[in-house]
Amino acid sequence: MIIIRVMDMGDYPQLIDLWSNTENIGLSEADSPVNLDTFLQRNPGLSFVALKDEKIIGAVLGGHDGRRGAIYHLAVSKDYRNKGTGKQLLNHVTLAYAEIGIERCHIHVYADNQSGLDFWQKNGWFTRPELVLLSKDISRHVKIRR
């Protein structure tokens, strides 16, 4: 039986193992222990793990900015795919969003991850061709001019 529960930092070693071994999951400094801990504390009850015999076989990160939700790193290990685990993880996040009044959430998908795109669209998510994502890296040493 697959059990879904809220993620905690004790899961970290297994999570890094899962994400490192999953295609189309890009890891960065945001996934360091200190940054994941900060993320989980800022977004309590929105990230989940799926366990089979106490081993993590799937996970998802959910966060929000008070207005929109953001989902990251949805992954199910290859041996356990197509059994409904990804969908269950997503259902947990979206239900948790509904409970705190977040009415829409977003996901960034690599443009060449056709399988991932198919998954999201199969599960009711829609692309936003009218929007383009722009990003900026923020240095820790930003100079403030007074």
Site for ligand COA in 72-131 (CB under 6 A): 74-76, 81-87, 107, 109, 113, 115-116, 118-119, 122-123
Site string for ligand COA, 42-61 (x = CB under 6 A): --------------------
CA distances to 4, 13, 24, 28, 54 from 33, in Å: 22, 9, 21, 11, 21
Our finding on whether 26 is near ligand COA (CB under 6 A) is: no
- Rounded least distance, CB 46 to ligand COA, Å: 17
Interface with ligand COA, residue 38, by CB under 6 A: no
21 binds ligand COA (CB under 6 A): no
The number of CA neighbours under 13 Å toward the Cβ of 30 is 13
Q: Please enumerate in sequence order all residues whose Cβ is within 8 A of that of 123, keeping only pairs 6 or more positions apart, or say none.
A: 87, 90
Which residues are registered as beta bridge partners of 105?
69
Nearest distance, CB of residue 123 and ligand COA, angstroms: 5
Query: Residue 112's CB: how many other CB atoms inside 10 A?
Result: 9
Q: Does 40 contact ligand COA by CB under 6 A?
A: no
